[in-house]
Structure 1
Amino acid sequence: MFRNLVKILEPFRNQLLWRARVGSAADGGGSAYERNCASKEQQLSQTLKRSLPGITYVSVEDISGGCGAMFEVNVEAKEFIGLSRVKQHRLVTETLKSEIAEMHGIRIHTAVPGAADK
């Protein structure tokens, strides 16, 4: 139940953190660097959503202090049902292969929908 509450509040948390970090960059203001950080997170999320249409939850966060070198990705998708954790991660890394080539590192957390409710 707590996980469901966290999942519901996650978009609000991400939006508040993003606005605090980027400030007016969301409105086209701020430096190109700030706009790039925000757009990279959005780009990674959109790539995952296009490739894995069964996604029920996705969160991408720049954990490199804003430089875009390292990201933490949390994905819950129906495509993971019946797959081992390694195969789930391979599916994500294959989807983000070209983006990962430009990064210093990535943390991936995957889950099957409803697995926490059991």
Structure 2
Amino acid sequence: MSESSQDNINNPDGSITSVPTRFPYVPATPEPSPQNPVVSKDITVNRSKSTWMRLYVPTAALNGGSSEKLPLVVYYHGGGFATGSVDFYPHHDFCNLMARELNAVFASPSYRLAPVNRLPAAYNC
């Protein structure tokens, strides 16, 4: 599926700014509640490159007081290095569900997207 021209802004310097419109954004949910079995928090990775990650932790692990270590799963969202974001609803919902079902901590890092950032920029966080 290709991005339509309305999803990108051509800048005077020849660069392109992507305007993601396909999925709604979802904020992190840092406060535990009965309706929210997983808490999530956004953490800056590299401010100069605008990279960050969202961490998901099951509330059962926070409330149990157990010293048991949880597995860590690193989830890279799809999109072929050209579209998507950690905070898009489908990615957030998937990580939230999996953290709860697997009783694991999920880390979902962002990466710089093409065509705004040419490869290998996505790998250089």
The two structures share one fold, judged by TM-score above 0.5:
no
Q: Indicate the structure with greater strand content.
A: 2
> With structure 2 as the length reference, what TM-score do the two structures score?
0.29
Q: Indicate the structure with greater helix content.
A: 1
Structure ID, larger Rg: 2
